[in-house]
Amino acid sequence: MARVYFGTDGIRGRVGEHPMTVDFALRLASAAGRVLASAGGTVLIGKDTRLSGYMFEAALEAGFVAAGVNVMLMGPLPTPGIAYMTRRLKCNFGVVISASHNLYEDNGIKFFDGSGGKLSDELEERIEAELAAPPQTRSSGELGRASRVDGTRTMYQEFCRGTLPEGMDLAGLKIVVDCANGAAYKVAPRTLADLGADIVPIGSSPNGRNINVGCGSMAPQLLQLTVPGVHAQVGIALDGDGDRVLMVDHLGRIVDGDQLLFIIACARQAQGALPGPVVGTLMSNLGLELALQARGIAFERAAVGDRYVLARLRETGGILGGETSGHIICLDRTTTGDGLVSALQVLAVMCQTKKSLAELAAGMTRLPQVMLNVPVARRFDPMGVPAVSTLLATLESQLGNRGRVVLRPSGTEALIRVMVEAQDEPLARRCAEELAAAVRAVGG
């Protein structure tokens, strides 16, 4: 059965528009409760800092309690923190209310199973099938109970600290951390400070509406100015729900997810702790693949979306994968993409090698990459349009082995993403704009 509501990262949309409404959230909770937990089971609910999070939290709580599922309310905590705490508190499943890197007008709902992993396609399909039934309300004696457990977030901070090598701290490092006015605004600065770093926090004053606005991994310009401005060694930029990370070197230059993945992979290889291939996506820069190959590290590409990276890692026995956007999965440390944990792994390499982030990133040369997002009236497969597929084949022939072209619909928005890599930026841009124009002509 094709999924209608679940995309690559849960259910997401504009608040007040279907499906991001209170009545849908109530129905979703009832359906998910029936699929993921028997009566008396427990769900952990966390959220980011969006104003609408309170509304959806209340609707989900009501739906779960009415279905006989006990509810633990965690409050604001990064998405990977909810994954960890779901496992730590032995809940049947976890729910995160977040639209990740989107602005506050959007929100979303995503699920973790009891082990802290993403739900399978089969479970998401079963939940959607249950949405056809009305919300369930059990008798008074069978209702679930709700409680707040936000005081336990220190468990997640302790877990993050524990992902560093035993005995290591960050004393002597001055770090600017941008929390995107989002879910990590408390735990990220506190974790880094507890490890002895000198912390300069920015993007850590959420007001319900400023999440991801001019800050965080989607807008790191302020971080790029602040790091050299305060003479810090490194900057960390998280996104609104804390599962993405970009970093900034001491000169204010961005180090993206591909480069961070390269740094961690090389360190794991040097330690003899890199089983299986490193897994990227169709959008990972060709420079990452070439740099890893030069060091004898196998590299594979999965479909875009951290769930597909994770699936490929499990299939191949790998432990390390990620996306250019900064979703990095270190399965030897945690079960899902975690921006703070990933940043800590890079900081550990800096401490162990006594090298700056700039020196570590210099081992990989990024090929010029142009990405264009083409808004469309509806989602469709652009490869099914002859005019588009023919042009794509022509451009690929022109580039040969000097570049790549990727064309795909977004999994969360009404967009077609066009990406072109080439040896020089003008060629990449020309090809991308030609392809974007062809897509716009048929889907605008």
Q: Is 356 exposed, middle or buried (0-12, 13-18, 19+ CB in 10 A)?
A: middle
Residues 173 and 302 in one domain: no
The mean-pLDDT minimum among 16-30, 54-68, 398-412 falls in: 398-412
Could you say which of 99, 119, 151 is where a domain stops?
151
Band of pLDDT at residue 7, cut at 50, 70 and 90: confident
Sign of CA dihedral 170, 178, 185, 321: negative
Would you say residue 346 lies in a domain?
no
Burial call 270-287: b when 16+ CB within 10 Å, e when fewer: eeeebebbbbbbbbbbbb
Would you say residue 362 lies in a domain?
no
Q: How many domains, the chain? A: 4
pLDDT at position 81 over 80: yes
Could you say which of 253, 285, 313 is where a domain stops?
253
Query: pLDDT at position 380, please?
Result: 82
Residues 314 and 404 in one domain: no
Tell me, what CATH number does 431's domain have? 3.30.310.50
Could you say which of 131, 151, 171 is where a domain stops?
151
Token pair for 334: 């945690």
**Between these two residues, 41 and 409, which has the higher pLDDT value?**
41
pLDDT at position 329 over 60: yes
Would you say residue 169 lies in a domain?
yes
pLDDT at position 89 over 80: yes
Residues 126 and 198 in one domain: no
**pLDDT per residue as tens digits for the range 382-427:** 888 999 999 999 999 988 877 899 998 886 678 999 999 998 899 9
Would you say residue 356 lies in a domain?
no
pLDDT at position 443 over 80: no
pLDDT at position 1 over 60: no
pLDDT at position 71 over 90: yes
Residues 98 and 211 in one domain: no
d(CA 189, CA 198): 10
Residues 100 and 135 in one domain: yes
Query: pLDDT at position 389, please?
Result: 92
The overall average pLDDT reported for the chain is 95
The answer to whether 374 and 429 have CB atoms below 8 angstroms apart is no
Would you say residue 45 lies in a domain?
yes
SS (H, E, C) 345-390: HHHHHHHHHCCCHHHHHCCCCCCCEEEEEEECCCCCCHHHCHHHHH
Q: Please give the order of strands across the beta sheet that includes 106-113.
A: 11-14, 106-113, 93-97, 42-47, 70-76, 146-148
Residues 41 and 135 in one domain: yes
Residues 71 and 202 in one domain: no
Would you say residue 397 lies in a domain?
yes
**pLDDT per residue as tens digits for the range 233-290:** 999 999 999 999 999 999 999 999 999 999 999 999 999 999 999 999 998 999 999 9
d(CA 244, CA 100): 9
Residues 161 and 136 in one domain: no
Q: Is 120 a catalytic residue?
A: no
Would you say residue 267 lies in a domain?
yes
pLDDT more than 70, % of the chain: 99
Q: Kindly give, in sequence order, each residue whose CB lies less than 8 Å from that of residue 132, ignoring residues fewer than 6 positions away.
A: none
pLDDT at position 95 over 70: yes
Query: pLDDT at position 305, please?
Result: 86
Band of pLDDT at residue 444, cut at 50, 70 and 90: low
**pLDDT per residue as tens digits for the range 165-175:** 999 999 999 99
Residues 178 and 104 in one domain: no
Helix axes 79-88, 339-353, angle to 10 degrees: 100
Sign of CA dihedral 312, 314, 316, 322: positive
pLDDT at position 315 over 90: yes
Band of pLDDT at residue 16, cut at 50, 70 and 90: very high
Tell me, what CATH number does 212's domain have? 3.40.120.10
d(CA 349, CA 360): 9
107 phi/psi in degrees, rounded to 5: -150, 175
**pLDDT per residue as tens digits for the range 338-371:** 999 999 999 999 999 999 999 999 999 999 999 9
Give the domain extent around 67: 11-151
**Between these two residues, 231 and 39, which has the higher pLDDT value?**
231
Residues 421 and 318 in one domain: no
Residues 101 and 16 in one domain: yes
Catalytic residue of the set 30, 52, 98, 100: 100
Query: pLDDT at position 337, please?
Result: 95
Residues 305 and 315 in one domain: yes
Would you say residue 291 lies in a domain?
yes
